[in-house]
Chains A and B, each alone.
Chain A
Amino acid sequence: MIGRPANILPPEAVPIRLEIASGGARFGAQALDILITFGGLFLLFWALIWANVLDWSMLATLFFLLVFLIRVPYYILSELVWNGRTIGKRIVRIKVISADGQRLTPHQIVARNLMKEVEVFMPATTLLSGSFQSGWVGLALTLWMVLVLCVPLFNKRRQRLGDMIAGTLVVDQPTAVLLPDLAATQGTTGVGFVFQPEQLDVYGRFELQTLEQILRNRPKTEEQRRRVSDVVHTIRRKIKFEEDVAARDEWDFLTDFYRQQREFLESRHLFGDTREDKFHKTGS
């Protein structure tokens, strides 16, 4: 599935964009959490019984207590402590946030996780155990549980019922990578192409950013070099650039063009003439 943006308005009033976590990530995190909690419980009791340090009634007390704790309370506590992340969510790098842009409140965490009992545990245990009633009542119940499980798949922001009550979203943790500024790298050692204002008048912001993406990867294979040279030919034809461009200068041509085009567009923008794409003249 393609990412869906969630626009959040923080108190600073600069909207920021986060990606809604995919259904797969949500499912994976939930499965991991269940595996970790129940697996941990199993291992702990296996070790305790093997070590034989507690008598049976203590073991039973501990067991009842832990079985209770690893359901709803585990999720509430871990999301409280780790700011909207359980262990499973930490591993798949997703996170609960408040949909209104404010900070996540304890109330929201409690609310969304209380609903887990009917949204996750009941359908999961019933469907997995396969011990549902026969007849049409059983069928209807099964259908209903499947529907409840599917709620996050059917709405735009992939909210569970619990998310709706609490007003929360689950988003991908953003990763920030700062690439070098293409206009700042003074790599033009070659010819030094110069473009006239009317030649820079053709393209807009969209084309500039497409060119930026091309310039992020230097061509390594013959195939890639041919594509770069295609791009150069197209640009030369469009802007009516008459001079010849030698094959070894093609990269410099693009870099120079990028830099000057960007400078040109930025100065046009300052004068109130923002050009989104190459159709800016036809006034779309």
Chain B
Amino acid sequence: MQPDAKNDDLIRSARFRAEREEGWRRLEQLVAQAEKSGMAALGYDDAVALASLYRQAMNSLSVARSISMDKALLDYLEALCARAYLVVYAPQESVTGVLQRLFTHGIPQAVRRSTTALIIGFLAMVLGGFVGFMLYQQDTSWFFTFVPSGLSDGRVPGASEAYLRSTLFEDGGRDGERLGTFATFLFSHNTRIAIFIFALGIFATLPSFVLTFYNGLILGAFYAMFHEAGLGYELFGWLSIHGVTELSAICLAAAGGAQLGLAVILPGNMTRREALRERGRDAVKLVILAGLMLIAAAIIEGFLRQLVQTTQMRLLIGWGIGAAWLAWLLLAGRDTVGQDT
């Protein structure tokens, strides 16, 4: 061994350590600081130092693995590098940037990519509605099977036309504050249902489909009942003003669930785990969209439905908003910039 360093009486690996130890200590200190109060708390010089010290430590680890016999040193470097890695590769996107990309590109593109799932989601609702309607036509007592008594609130087969009409066109004497509470409740409740429908999709799509189908059944039975009382058109208006948005959101959540289910049933050439990860990207965006639409729907249902009392206006507003959603989803993010988050 050549006596070329001031630590010339040390053996090779001890010299290796003595030369680099200072940098590791400094890195350890920076990492601890960043872990505690976030990267933003580091100054410019510290942040620059962190990056280069991290690379040096990684380099040391790589060398130490091949030359060092010292277990303690290896363990230390492993842990230090792992800690530094977790800090250096922390998510760094700004929240506004992420949101902007999500709205301008992420969500519309995800929706356009998920045709099959969307068909499944909307089909569940439509089929449910159709079956509910037909069954009610055959035997009105099906109504009691489908609709929980808490939901019907006196709106049952055989109720007088006047009563049914009053449920469509009353403002219930609600003042602004009460409406706000109602809207918040609707939003919180519906969003949880939507997340639930979505997450259940992982069990081979079926539970999401069944839940959405069931929602359709209730809807179909309700419609058939009002139709029988000659109020079909009015109910359509009453439902349209928020339902175009709200029911679409439920279908979108079911479509998100279907994405997961499809990955489980039909993974193609990938493993199921890979397929889930792949399809999960779009599925999650569908649910975010559903959540957004439910917020909008809750505001419409909580306020507008009580304030707008004519069927024509209700139809106009409901389908107008629906068209706006559709335009956004079909037209936005057609350029290729800002692919995926």
Residues of chain A whose beta carbon lies under 8 Å from any beta carbon of chain B: 8, 10-12, 14, 16-18, 55, 57-58, 60-61, 64-65, 67-68, 71-72, 80, 83-84, 95, 97, 101-107, 109-111, 114-119, 122, 161, 164-167, 173-179, 181-184, 186, 205, 208-209, 212-213, 216, 259, 262-263, 265-267, 269-270
**B69 touching A174 by the CB < 8 A rule?**
no
Closest to A98 in B: B89
Cα A57 to Cα B181 with chains together (Å) = 6
Determine the chain B residues whose CB is within 8 A of the CB of A186 once the complex forms: 9
Using A17-B78, A58-B177, A183-B10 as known contacts, say yes or no to A209 and B195 having CB atoms under 8 A apart: no
Determine the chain B residues whose CB is within 8 A of the CB of A167 once the complex forms: 277
Closest to B93 in A: A106
Determine the chain A residues whose CB is within 8 A of the CB of B76 once the complex forms: 176-179
**A64 touching B184 by the CB < 8 A rule?**
yes
Using A110-B288, A179-B72 as known contacts, say yes or no to A17 and B82 having CB atoms under 8 A apart: yes
Cα A95 to Cα B341 with chains together (Å) = 22
8 contacts between A and B (CB under 8 A): A18-B82, A64-B189, A107-B341, A174-B80, A176-B76, A181-B18, A209-B69, A216-B72
Q: CB within 8 A of B199: which of A11, A118, A177? A: A118
- 11 further A-B pairs in the complex, CB-CB below 8 A; given A10-B85, A84-B90, A110-B288: A80-B91, A107-B284, A109-B91, A110-B284, A117-B199, A166-B277, A174-B83, A176-B80, A177-B76, A178-B24, A209-B71
Give a binary string over B78-96; 1 marks a CB under 8 Å from any A CB, 0 the rest. 1111110111011111010
**B185 touching A212 by the CB < 8 A rule?**
no
Closest to B34 in A: A83
CB distance from A242 to the nearest CB of B (A): 25
Which 8 residue pairs of A and B lie closest in terms of their CB atoms, listed nearest first? Answer: A68-B188, A176-B79, A118-B199, A165-B280, A174-B79, A179-B72, A103-B89, A176-B80
Determine the chain A residues whose CB is within 8 A of the CB of B93 once the complex forms: 106
Cα A166 to Cα B202 with chains together (Å) = 13
Cα A97 to Cα B78 with chains together (Å) = 16
Determine the chain B residues whose CB is within 8 A of the CB of A182 once the complex forms: 70, 72
**A103 touching B12 by the CB < 8 A rule?**
no
**B83 touching A102 by the CB < 8 A rule?**
no
CB distance from B269 to the nearest CB of A (A): 18
**B85 touching A111 by the CB < 8 A rule?**
no
Using A61-B181, A114-B199, A216-B72 as known contacts, say yes or no to A164 and B17 having CB atoms under 8 A apart: no
Residue B58 interfacial (CB < 8 Å)? yes
Q: CB within 8 A of A119: which of B58, B90, B199? A: B199
**A266 touching B13 by the CB < 8 A rule?**
yes
Query: Which among A164, A181, A209 has the greatest number of chain B C-beta atoms within 10 A?
Result: A181
Cα A116 to Cα B71 with chains together (Å) = 40
Cα A10 to Cα B71 with chains together (Å) = 22
**B67 touching A68 by the CB < 8 A rule?**
no
Closest to B106 in A: A107
Determine the chain B residues whose CB is within 8 A of the CB of A12 once the complex forms: 55, 58
CB distance from A107 to the nearest CB of B (A): 5
**B71 touching A213 by the CB < 8 A rule?**
yes
Query: Which among B81, B189, B284, B288 has the greatest number of chain A C-beta atoms within 10 A?
Result: B284
**B184 touching A175 by the CB < 8 A rule?**
no
Interface positions of B from 281 to 296, Cβ below 8 Å from A: 281, 283-284, 287-288
Closest to A204 in B: B69
Residue B178 interfacial (CB < 8 Å)? yes
**B82 touching A117 by the CB < 8 A rule?**
no
Residue B191 interfacial (CB < 8 Å)? yes
Determine the chain A residues whose CB is within 8 A of the CB of B87 once the complex forms: 83
**B91 touching A67 by the CB < 8 A rule?**
no
**B11 touching A262 by the CB < 8 A rule?**
yes
Closest to A60 in B: B181
Give a binary string over B1-24; 1 marks a CB under 8 Å from any A CB, 0 the rest. 000000001111110011001001
Residue B61 interfacial (CB < 8 Å)? yes
Q: CB within 8 A of A183: which of B70, B91, B287? A: B70
**A68 touching B79 by the CB < 8 A rule?**
no
Residue B112 interfacial (CB < 8 Å)? no
**B10 touching A184 by the CB < 8 A rule?**
yes
Closest to A81 in B: B38
**A105 touching B181 by the CB < 8 A rule?**
no
Residue B213 interfacial (CB < 8 Å)? no
Closest to A100 in B: B277
Cα A220 to Cα B270 with chains together (Å) = 59
